[in-house]
Structure 1
Amino acid sequence: MKIAKNQRVLNNLSKMVLSLLLIGLLSQNSLYGQGEALYKAKCASCHQIEKNGTGPMLKGARQRWMDAGEGDLIVEWVQNNAALRNSGKSKRAAAVYKEYGGSVMQIFADITPDQVNAILDFADAPPVAAPAGGPQGADASDPNAVEAEEEGGISTVWWLLAVLFIVVILSVSGVRRQLKHATEETTPNNSLSYWEEFKILAWKNRAISGVLGLVLTIAILVLVFQRLGSINLMEDYQPSQPIAFPHSQHAGVNGIDCKYCHNSVEKSKSAGLPTVNVCMNCHKQINGKDAAQQEQIAKIYAAAGWDPNIKPAGAYTGKSTPIVWNKVHVLPDHVYFNHSQHVVAGKINCTQCHGDMKQMKETAKVWPVEELNKVEGNIALTKPTLTMGWCIECHGKKEVVIGDGSNAYYDEIHQRLKKNKKLYQQYLNDGKITANELGGWECAKCHY
């Protein structure tokens, strides 16, 4: 009888060891999940998986460095690319730096070689996008389309770990019960279930159980509110467009002012999309240097009804088709935002919200706040782009210039404050007058 009891103890112990081994194996496999999280946190703002962007695409990056005979240096490149270039030991580092116009990559001194390899493993085998769904205008087969699943969700690995953790707890409980009966030579009371034993144990250790219960409740509430805060985040949203429009060529190389194409930005709530006749002001004469450019410009001609082959210098045919652009910066219906108010009265540069479009080689996207903060002259913010917290934070930091004669509304405020010097000094406690001090945090300012 005692041997049978000991056999049951050994069986339970073997189950526990097997569970721990499975957890160890899953922990190794979770490096893939760690690579995905690190990519989204540190790389996604500049690097895409399968397309070149601000920086080179990450898929195949390790192989390209190996082909250059410098596979062992890619970790140093990620950790501190400037130091690697300056050391002179990497021709590949200098070549990439030159290829991307001297664009400087952020230094990641805190990232480990294992983490770098985890990112590269993820990049070489990214998850397959869902075939349907996704935000408006996004192509689900496009690796740059927004994933249907929001970032920050609990991965399958963590669910498996949770299940295995429960299995381990039950195994330990069974071992404890069998050892107790084997040691005390008593007959086990099979009428008590695991749940009943757990309740008895919890009651005996009420203080510890209470603290653990409180910690668990707070942790669950934190996770719930974090999840709620991640709903409808639009950062990195980059829908496909009917015509590939490189802002880097138009605003960067050619130096075209934003307001030339978005000509209602100083007069209207909306910045406005350029009509095709605005495009034709230049593209009657410019039809592209290579086949790729000519293909896109041909779409403009089709939309405008322009035939460049009609002698002597092309002519309109009268057969035009509308260009259906996919909206990039999408605000909820109950949010009011006026471009002219921010550009004219607030004197806010386009780069504050839209980023440095002179560097945007591909179609427009919603820039993450970390990337916006790198643009010279931008107000540094912390909340995700296009969220309520992002707007409120900016209203609390953006200084309003009053009394310079450029805005009658602010001039009137200036005159009133001059008559009440005590109130004026109160406003200037932080050395500036901000939008929130003039009512920029009132709900009705932004919500209908």
Structure 2
Amino acid sequence: MIGCILKSKIKVLYTFLFALVVSFGALAQEASEQADIATKGVTPGATEGAEVSGGDPAVISAGEALFKNNCAVCHSAGSDVIVGPGLQGVNGRHSEAWLIKWIKNSQSLIQAGDAEAIAVYEEYSKQAMPSFAFSDDEVKSILAYIESGQGVVSAPTEGPEGATAGENVGTDAIGAVGGYLDIVLVVLIVVLIVLVVTLLLITSLLRNYLNKNRTLNEYDAEVVNQRFDFSKIYKSKAVRTLVVLIFVVVVLDLTLDKVMGIGIQQGYEPKQPIAFSHKLHAGEHQINCNYCHSTVYKSKSASIPSANICMNCHSQIKTESPEIQKIYRAIERNRPIEWVRIHNLPDLAYFNHSQHTQVGGIECQTCHGPIQEMDVVYQYSPLTMGWCIDCHRETPLNTEGNAYYDKLVELHEESSKGAFTVSSNGGTECSKCHY
């Protein structure tokens, strides 16, 4: 009887300890999920979608596109000097008529002896500004965009405890909580181990006490003095079969992973002939992707920038840099720079950049990842057929104002309650990409 009571108490204690571990495990998982939700919920202090104050929004939008594709490489819309002056307040420093002439052909103004043009030219180390074949209306749209102030990057403002605006304060706090939670879990595990050891010692002491000081019947004596034979575990056919099965499943899983990974180059990061940093150019200097990859919105291919595009800036900037000297040598030898291709689809797959960027409005980062943060570019996405199809199934099409889609949307709504996606428009048909 005593053995039964002792065995029952031990079971209760083990059950309690197990429940305690599970409870804290669930607590840790819940805290982790809350941290993920909070992290994803933190949004930068961007001003996207802000209403335009003053001016025609359509004109300002057209000016923004022209500015980012042609001017942003040398000028900021604020007061920062990049190659040329910051353009904030330029409408007040010069007349509109003068600015139109300057932007179209600055050298003609300088050669004509215009005092303002000569002053600007000499102030900025006599760096020649390229001529642009813009119409007067296009120049005015650029000036309207600059005057709107939409391109001005706001100075960081102090936030909670010295944090700056846009800084992910919540993530750090969540990370600190997660760190404390990890410490608590480690302490609990140590406490549980101590409790188990203590329990085993108490069990041993009670067994010795009962054997020496109590007269036990046959059943109680068997319960109190029972020994667990560990050899029965590994000698069991069921256990051996289970181990072999697990081993086979693991080997098959690893083999399938390797086989399915053939041809996938996600994470591929080759060394390039010239150490070009997208983090510096696209990130810090905010040069629009279209400036270098000039056909990304109008062609199947995004194009590799020629050395002449590099020379638009580097004929004046960092001319003594060893990496820039490699560009000079390529030009002198009349040979292309042999960039190593990173994103490479198989020949059996058709992909059109303009269809996705211009028509679909897909951002470069959707497929190429945070390119503006990469010192060395690597393949961010898997670029597999499954990855593309998933995107086509999940991405809704913007059909508003486009009569081409009216009948298709009507037919879709009759048969489905879901969104009209790329897949709804035939985006998962084999012939779309393979023909």
Q: Same fold (TM over 0.5)?
A: no
- Tell me the TM-score range normalised by the shorter chain: 0.3 to 0.5
Q: Give the TM-score normalised by structure 1.
A: 0.43
More helix by share: 2
Provide the TM-score with structure 2 as the length reference.
0.44
